[in-house]
Amino acid sequence: MNNLKNKIAVITGSNSGIGYATAKELKEQGAKVIITGRRKEAITQAATELGVTAIVADQSNIEAIENLTNKVKDTYGKIDILFINAGVVKQSTIEQATEAHFDEIININFKGAYFTLNRFIPLLNDGASVILLSSIVATKTFVGSSVYSSSKAALNSVMKTAAIELAPRNIRVNAVSPGPTQTEIMNKAGLDVATIKTIKAGLVDRIPLKLVGTAEDVAGMVAYLSGDAAKFITGTEIIMDGGMVLA
């Protein structure tokens, strides 16, 4: 497939999971891909494995975002695809939440994503596609997710406004909201195999399609939204959760 041949794509937070899978998918469809991440060793290794370009950038830091956009501008001039994927997932009840917990999530998931879009708009070619990684928790309530859910709800609101503001340039802006998705996040949380298996079984029981999504599922949707087949889609949140929000 060469649906995205010679398109220039930037993907934030791409050393593993959904970002990594999307970088692989876009490259396979012919795009020239730039991936970003906070940890130099991890993002460099991912770039080597994928055969793409890596730029170290911390989405929670405005100066780092400006440095990223300057590097992209100097090397590529303009881009065609921007997938704002970087984010963190942490839980706390409202009663137990700390300012540090609040700031970390909001600074990366919302403020960082917002200013990544802000700084990249001048680099977007007319007809470009922007995709934001949201989550079903933006609208579906879970205990302990107040700050994370708020960050994603805010992102969805910005997505709709951006879609209107950028429509005169034929730039499409959409969000993908996965439900339970198999990534390395549970392993990174230090959970043992038995615990992970129990959590998955509990999730599957709540999903009408009786399966957990994969990073590759999301990557396929991002690729679709990046291409001409989605040229009439903008300001839309694509929910990918096996029907969980319906249950």
The C-alpha atoms of residue 244 and residue 31 are separated, in whole angstroms, by 32
How many angstroms separate the CA atoms of 100 and 60, rounded? 13
Q: Are 184 and 133 in contact (CB under 8 A)?
A: no
Terminal CA-CA length for the chain: 36
CA angle 224, 148, 247 (to 5 degrees): 65
The one catalytic residue among 20, 76, 148, 224:
148
Q: Which of 15, 101, 108, 104 is nearest to 65 (CA)?
A: 108
- Report how far residue 219's alpha carbon sits from residue 17's, in angstroms, rounded to the nearest whole number: 10
Confirm whether 76 is a catalytic residue. Answer: no
Residues with a catalytic annotation lie at 148
